[in-house]
Amino acid sequence: MAKKYTTRAEDYSKWYNELVARADLAEHSDVKGCMIIKPYGYAIWENMRDVLDVKFKETGHSNAYFPIFIPKRLFEAEEKNAEGFAKECAVVTHYRLKADPNQKGKLMVDPEAKLEEELIVRPTSEAIIWNTYKRWIQSYRDLPILINQWANVVRWEMRTRIFLRTAEFLWQEGHTAHATKEEAIEETERMCDVYADFAENYMAVPVIKGLKSPSERFAGAEETYCIEAMMQDGKALQAGTSHFLGQNFAQAFDVKFADAEGKLEYVWATSWGVSTRLMGALIMTHSDDDGMIVPPRLAPLQVVAVPIYKTEEELKAITEKFDQLSKELAAKGISFKFDDDDNRRPGWKFAEYEAKGIPVRLAMGPRDLENGNVEVARRDNKTKEVIPFEGVADVIEGLMEEIQQNIYDRAVKFREEHTHVVDSYDEFKLRLEAEGGFYLAHWDGTEETEEKIKEETKATIRCIPLERDEEEGVCMVTGKPSKGRVIFAKAY
Binding of a copy of itself at residue 420 (CB under 8 A)? no
Q: What is the largest CA-CA distance in the chain?
A: 84
- Cβ closer to a copy of itself: 253 or 408? 253
Q: Whole-angstrom Cα distance, residue 367 to residue 247?
A: 71
Q: Which of 75, 171, 443, 492 binds a copy of itself (CB under 8 A)?
A: 75
Binding of a copy of itself at residue 283 (CB under 8 A)? no
Q: What is the DSSP string of 191-245?
A: HHHHHHHHHHHTS----EEEE--GGGS-TT-SEEEEEEEE-TTS-EEEEEEEEEE
Q: Where are the beta strands (DSSP E) in 291-382?
A: 303-307, 336-338, 360-364, 373-378
Q: Which of 4, 87, 159, 310 binds a copy of itself (CB under 8 A)?
A: 87
Q: Give 463's strand partners.
A: 487
Binding of a copy of itself at residue 348 (CB under 8 A)? no
CB of 189 to a copy of itself, least distance (A): 23
Binding of a copy of itself at residue 54 (CB under 8 A)? no
Q: Which of 10, 54, 97, 398 binds a copy of itself (CB under 8 A)?
A: 97
Q: Whole-angstrom Cα distance, residue 325 to residue 285?
A: 31
In the shown chain, the binding pattern of residues 152 to 191 toward a copy of itself, with x for contact by CB under 8 A and - for none, equals: x-x-x-----------x-x---------------------
- Stated as kind and residue range, the H or E segment containing 131 is helix 126-136
Looking only at residues 309 through 338 of this chain, which bind a copy of itself when binding is defined by CB under 8 A?
none
CB of 110 to a copy of itself, least distance (A): 8
Binding of a copy of itself at residue 74 (CB under 8 A)? yes
- Cβ closer to a copy of itself: 118 or 189? 118
Specify the 3-state DSSP secondary structure of 443: coil
Q: Which of 18, 21, 76, 478 binds a copy of itself (CB under 8 A)?
A: 76
Binding of a copy of itself at residue 343 (CB under 8 A)? yes
CB of 34 to a copy of itself, least distance (A): 4
In 10 A of CB 358, how many CB atoms?
24
Q: Which of 7, 8, 17, 46 binds a copy of itself (CB under 8 A)?
A: 46
Binding of a copy of itself at residue 143 (CB under 8 A)? no
Dihedral sign, Cα of residue 441, residue 442, residue 448, residue 452: negative
Binding of a copy of itself at residue 64 (CB under 8 A)? yes
Binding of a copy of itself at residue 23 (CB under 8 A)? no
Q: How many residues bind a copy of itself (CB under 8 A)?
A: 65
Sequence-distant (≥ 6) Cβ neighbours of residue 400 within 8 angstroms: 296, 297, 302, 334, 359, 360
Q: Which of 429, 434, 12, 422 is nearest to 237 (CA)?
A: 12
**Considering only 42-50, 319-327, 424-432, 456-464, which stretch makes contact with a copy of itself by CB under 8 A?**
42-50
Contact of 440 with 420, CB cutoff 8 Å: yes
Specify the 3-state DSSP secondary structure of 270: strand
Binding of a copy of itself at residue 467 (CB under 8 A)? no
Binding of a copy of itself at residue 439 (CB under 8 A)? no
- Cβ closer to a copy of itself: 170 or 461? 170
**CA distances in angstroms from 484 to 441, 449, 457, listed in the order given:** 8, 15, 21
- For residue 144, say if its preceding peptide bond is cis, omega within 30 degrees of 0: yes
Specify the 3-state DSSP secondary structure of 38: coil
CB of 161 to a copy of itself, least distance (A): 16
Binding of a copy of itself at residue 91 (CB under 8 A)? yes
Looking only at residues 103 through 122 of this chain, which bind a copy of itself when binding is defined by CB under 8 A?
105-107, 109, 118-121
DSSP class of residue 296 equals G
Binding of a copy of itself at residue 284 (CB under 8 A)? no
* Pair type for strands 114-121 and 145-154: unpaired
Q: What is the DSSP string of 390-402?
A: TTHHHHHHHHHHH
Phi, psi of 52 (to 5 degrees): -60, -40
**Considering only 65-73, 201-209, 311-319, 448-456, which stretch makes contact with a copy of itself by CB under 8 A?**
65-73
- Cβ closer to a copy of itself: 253 or 428? 253
CB of 393 to a copy of itself, least distance (A): 24
Q: Where are the beta strands (DSSP E) in 138-207?
A: 145-154, 168-178
DSSP class of residue 481 equals E
Q: Give 404's strand partners.
A: none
| Size of the chain, expressed as the number of residues it contains | 492
Q: Which of 10, 11, 14, 65 binds a copy of itself (CB under 8 A)?
A: 65
**Considering only 127-135, 175-183, 263-271, 443-451, which stretch makes contact with a copy of itself by CB under 8 A?**
127-135
Binding of a copy of itself at residue 254 (CB under 8 A)? no
CB of 76 to a copy of itself, least distance (A): 5
Chain residues binding a copy of itself by CB under 8 A are 27, 29-31, 34-39, 42-43, 46, 62-72, 74-76, 79, 82-83, 86-99, 105-107, 109, 118-121, 128, 131-132, 135, 141, 147, 151-152, 154, 156, 168, 170, 343
